[in-house]
Structure 1
């Protein structure tokens, strides 16, 4: 088996997925969004439109500085707003806005297309094995 191409194909697949998502965003008229905003919008949509910055980071597996940059960009575009907690001023909530609520259906359509395209011709068992192996590969790079 020639396993030296595994990392190459993972990288190539990621690039193709990003290109696919960018194309779908343009088709839906969401030209100001980029794929990296997707995880934040997804977790907000899945959690009644309000989470702390810390919760977002934990749910999407990104550090505080990365989340801050992405949230600030989404805020400037009008998709989210930041709000300080009344109970604890150190806590910042991120909330969906009317603009992000208006695009939720389009966003979910794109997510569904990505999912269906990614798993086309995969059996349930193959998806389970793929996920298990990708988690194992991912864990191999934990720096501890």
Structure 2
């Protein structure tokens, strides 16, 4: 093997090792954030006697006012079978109702009950550390910290566009507007 080839091979190996170590860094940084967010979501849900999935479905239905099982699955990034199981539990807790339309009995529509609506509105005021951290940087941080927080939010948006599509991201931002309007009433 020539020295030139050995150098090229060594360079390629070093690049691969850097890529693998960078992958390790990305995986663990994202996992760490996910754990913090999961912890807060689970605590918020538990506070109201719910699982994180039940709580998230209530939020989706709150925003949509009425949603099909398929719509809930798409917005929640679940399989429809998972949504059906969670909806069953929410119905038992009297937080949602489901119905079918006479003209199409295949589609099930889900709505919040008064009890579900009240619980969902209360849950918006729970403590979420990731949100608080970013909000603190945006509201009270230095100019550099504010810019960094804006960049983080931009990256979150771009990653979701890449992995889940523009429709998903549009739904997120449109639902934010619906929540803001509803809280003003």
For normalisation by structure 1, the TM-score amounts to: 0.76
Where do 5+ consecutive residues of structure 2 fail to align? 1-17, 138-147, 165-185
Q: 2:90 aligns with which of 74, 87, 100?
A: 74
CA contact (8 A) 2:100 2:106 kept: yes
Cα offsets for 1:88-116 (capped at 9, x unmatched): 11111111112101212212223x74662
State how far apart, in whole Å, the 1-side matches of 2:114 and 2:61 are. 13
Change (3 A) 1:99 1:6: same
Bigger helix share = 2
For normalisation by structure 2, the TM-score amounts to: 0.61
Question: What is residue 6 of structure 1 aligned with on the other side?
Answer: 26
Instruction: Determine whether 1:24 maps to 2:50.
Output: no
Where do 5+ consecutive residues of structure 1 fail to align? 140-144
Question: What is residue 131 of structure 2 aligned with on the other side?
Answer: 116
Question: What is residue 117 of structure 2 aligned with on the other side?
Answer: 101
* Number of matched pairs: 133
Q: 1:132 aligns with which of 144, 155, 158?
A: 158
Larger radius of gyration: 2
Question: What is residue 172 of structure 2 aligned with on the other side?
Answer: none
